[in-house]
Amino acid sequence: MDAYEMAEADRRILEVAGLAHSEPPVTGPQAWWLKDLLATRALPVEFTLPKWEERIVHLRSAFECTMAQSAVKHGKIVGMELLAKAVNEHLNGFDRKPLTKAGASKLITALKDQPVKVTSERVKNVERVELQDGMYNLNGIFYKVYHTVNGANVQVAKRLQVTEIGDEAEVSFVYEGKKPLYKLAPEMRLTIEEAKAFGALYGTCCICGRTLTNELSIHLGIGPVCGKREFGGEFVFMLDSAKLALAPTDEHHAQRGVEAARKALG
């Protein structure tokens, strides 16, 4: 790498690291996406240079500490905007540069296409707790635990990741095998409130990854089929309540009758 290329790499990393003070701070959706990317993606080569690697370490630490200290550990999802604010408060508390909107955007661009980190660490002599198939929340990262249909019928896990953010987010599941099972526990089973919160944030069902389009599904934050399968009777009660809430009122029926009469009279 010649001097020009090194200068360009330094400039790019400076922008990605969010070292500018005068720009708007990281947004809530950006912070929520970065939380997952920083935890799971390998770093581009230029980010491994000592002076920039330290910045990434600081950012990872800020997200991890914020999530650990937030309501997530009590079984709730911390809001996106609250996460963004708390991360910069954490950085400020250690006299570190804040994460800006532009810096977060470039960091997302740099990380989203990077491969998932590969580790040689192996789980040894750890007794795994028996888990029911279903969705689990590990510090804000969702896992789908299931038994393979073909072959050995073994229990494995997939990690839910957000691949695009916006009005209609795109989510997918990344196969991670048995390793996550050693970190999960029965009390981490996803709650209805967490599933609803995810649906409200992304407009997507966290159980199957599909976009919520039906009015009832959007209101619930979960697809009815997935909700019944994952939460049983608790969801059925919520479903009935939602149907009542969305049911047309007498006033609505009257208004539709007036509109129909006007249309018939031309």
pLDDT tens-digit series, residues 209-249: 888 887 888 888 888 888 888 888 777 777 777 777 776 65
Lowest mean pLDDT among 5-19, 195-209, 233-247: 5-19
Question: Model-level pTM?
Answer: 0.52
Q: Find the Cα–Cα–Cα–Cα dihedral 206, 35, 164, 76, rounded to 10°.
A: 30
Q: 162 or 155: which carries more pLDDT confidence?
A: 155
Predicted confidence (pLDDT) at residue 145 exceeds the cutoff of 90: yes
pLDDT of 20 reads: 44
Token look-up 């609250």 returns 82
How far is 99 from 25, CA to CA, in rounded Å?
6
> Which tokens go with 16?
């990605």
Q: Quick one: which of 218, 180, 225, 183 has its CA closest to 198? A: 218
The residue extents of the domains of the chain are 3-112, 134-246
pLDDT of 183 reads: 87
pLDDT of 203 reads: 82
pLDDT tens-digit series, residues 50-107: 667 778 878 888 887 777 665 444 444 556 778 888 888 888 887 888 999 988 898 8
Bridge-based pairing of strands 134-138 and 170-177 is unpaired
pLDDT of 217 reads: 81
pLDDT of 5 reads: 60
**C-alpha distance across the termini of the chain, in Å:** 76
Residue percentage of the chain with pLDDT more than 90? 3
Q: Where are the alpha helices (DSSP H) in 128-179?
A: none
- Taking the alpha carbons of 100, 102, 105, 109 in that order, is the dihedral positive or negative? negative
pLDDT of 114 reads: 82
In DSSP terms, 173 is beta-bridged to 160
Q: Where are the alpha helices (DSSP H) in 18-49?
A: 28-40
Q: Give me the mean pLDDT over the 21-38 stretch.
A: 83
- Mean confidence (pLDDT) of the chain: 75
Q: Where are the alpha helices (DSSP H) in the chain?
A: 3-16, 28-40, 50-69, 80-93, 101-112, 192-202, 215-220, 224-231, 233-246, 250-264
pLDDT of 22 reads: 62
pLDDT of 227 reads: 84
Residues in the chain: 266
pLDDT tens-digit series, residues 126-136: 567 788 999 99
